[in-house]
Amino acid sequence: MVSKTKPDMSTLKIVLRRCGTLAMEDDKIQFMRWRAIPTMLVLAMIGSTRAICPAACRCENDVLRTSCASASLEIVPIQLNPELHELDLSNNKIVHIHFSFPFYEKLVNLNLSHNRIKTLGNANFNSQTNLTRLDLSSNQIENLTKDSLKGLKALTHLDLSNNSLEEINSASFRELHSLSVLKLCGNRLVHLEGGLFRTSKHLKELHLNDNQFLDVPTAALSDTIHLKYLYLSRNLILSIEDGDWPHLPELHTLFLDSNVLTDIHPDGLSTLVALDHLDLSDNNLTAMPTMPLAKLSSLTNLKLSGNFISSIPPVAFRGLFHLRILKIDRLETLRQIDARAFVDNINLEKVHMDYNVGIEKLPTRLFYGNPKVKYISVRYNSLQTLEAIHFPVDHLQELRVGGNPLICNCSLGWLWQLIQEYKYKLLKLNGTAHMNGKKTRNTSELTLDMSDISCVGPEELSGELLVDATKNQMDCSVGWMAAVSVTVTVIFILLVIGGVIYWAPKRRSRSNKNDLEIDDSLRRTVPSPPRSRKTEPYDPGQVEKYIIPPPIMIHNDYRSLPSWDPYGTSSMNVYEQLNDNRDRPHIVYV
């Protein structure tokens, strides 16, 4: 398709200016442009011209759109319709863009991705005042000068990902007043200058993935007060300290996955008050970051997969009352989960706990404090048994337990029964859908991954799916061997009780008889006490026989103590020392 245009002197000036730059181009491009000069001069001088659409391009002049994608172009074509709004030059071999776009002042969308552009030069987009989207991804751009993007005042989306950028001049974005989305991922950036986004007050989405940042670019982010999405995945950030994040009151989503994070300060995330989605997966965290997470009261989606956390403590996600989706899978060192881990998360709906190969047992009633939970996945752990009390199956919509080394004995009867009911409802539903000619699904029914739930034991079910087990194999009723065992046990207990009842009285009587015999023998061996001498007169000498102690040895000589006369006139009266009242002693005869 072609369209008529009117030439003017400005077009002629542009052509001549382009010709003046030929001396700086390489030989091949210079030769091609010299061949095009006569044509351009003729088109500029004649009274009316027709826009020419190259054979490798697809021109849609009715909607002012042209696509020259994958056309093996080495230069930007200048003979297209100057009224174009959309121009796609992706997947070509374009090296330079000098003086290529003044012909297309009305461009709104320009795609230059997957070319060989090494530099943007200065003011090459100065005429694109209407351009809103510019894609320069997957080129070889090494730096941005302060005038590389001059004139792009209406630009809202800029993609510079997958280039070779090592630094960006702090004034490079000074005219990008309308910039909303900026993609700088896949470069070699280590640092961003402060003030880089000072004039980009409308920036809402910033992609810094796959660079070489060692820490959070705090200085540059301090001006992005309306930022909502920030992507810092696959960098080299080691830790998050207090003050690393400026106040970002509208930040909604933060990706910090695939860094080398080992530690997060308790107040490291406190300035991100509106954060809703946080991805910390595939880092080097060894402990649950309970304290820093507790500051994110608005968080609804949290990913901690692929870390080195060994245990999930009680109230691990403290204060996250709005948390709905939690991913704690691929934690290879995880060994223990406390039964109270999720007690604060009353709005939890989905829990992903897959590929935690160290988990051999789930705590009882782990999810019973989460009344809104609808989806639980514990696939490919090391669980050998599962109990119905582990899961609130009454209000679950999806339960995934496949890939575990289950021992399929009667303790899994509850799961076998659920699988049979699900299988029956699935067959019935598919039959109804086949009859109606459409596929339907009742979302209120519990969904199971029954095709992945297999058994490693007992021997007769090893390698088989649980759904294929028979009712007898999963029956927990008492068989005849169990009945015999129970009967023998009861008889043994009764015999023990009867023996105790029968022998206890005899043993007691024998014990009493032995006690009596011991008492008699003691009586015979113990001498009888002397009879009372009520009428016998007092004899002081008789008293001394009982109370005078034996002689003591002093210096190996035996000396007798003088006889003690309690009523004598001796100067030393013992009772005077013992009793100030000098009472006479009370002597008891035995």
Q: What is the pLDDT of residues 317-327, one digit of tens each?
A: 999 999 999 99
463-509 pLDDT per residue, tens:
999 999 988 888 766 554 555 667 778 888 888 888 778 777 766 66
Determine contact, residues 7/49, Cβ cutoff 8 Å: yes
Please state the rounded mean pLDDT for residues 195-213.
96
DSSP one-letter code for 350? E
- Could you give the residue ranges of the DSSP H alpha helices within 105-226? 218-221
| pLDDT score at 444 | 60
Determine contact, residues 415/396, Cβ cutoff 8 Å: no
Tell me the two tokens of residue 462: 């090893």
pLDDT at 2 over 90: no
pLDDT at 156 over 70: yes
3-state secondary structure of 112: coil
| pLDDT score at 512 | 61
Could you tell me the end-to-end alpha-carbon distance of the chain, in angstroms, rounded to an integer?
A: 147
Q: Which residues pair with 327 in a beta bridge?
A: 303, 352
384-406 pLDDT per residue, tens:
999 888 898 888 999 999 999 99
Among residues 183, 180, 177, which one has the least CA distance to residue 141?
183
Among residues 392, 393, 304, which one has the least CA distance to residue 354?
304
Neighbours of 463 (CB within 10 A): 9
pLDDT at 8 over 50: no
Q: Which residues pair with 61 in a beta bridge?
A: none
Determine contact, residues 407/429, Cβ cutoff 8 Å: no
Q: Helix axis angle, 9-20 relative to 27-45, nearest 10°?
A: 160
Highest-confidence range of 4-8, 56-60, 345-349, by mean pLDDT? Answer: 345-349
Let me know if 196 is exposed, middle or buried by CB neighbors in 10 A (0-12, 13-18, 19+): buried
3-state secondary structure of 383: coil
Please state the rounded mean pLDDT for residues 63-81.
93
Please state the rounded mean pLDDT for residues 371-395.
93
Q: How far apart are CA 409 and CA 456, in angstroms?
A: 11
| pLDDT score at 140 | 96
pLDDT at 532 over 50: no
Q: How many residues does the chain have?
A: 590
The whole model's pTM is what? 0.72
Mean pLDDT of the chain: 81
Q: What are the Cα distances from residue 138, in Å, to 31, 118, 185, 569?
A: 27, 11, 10, 132
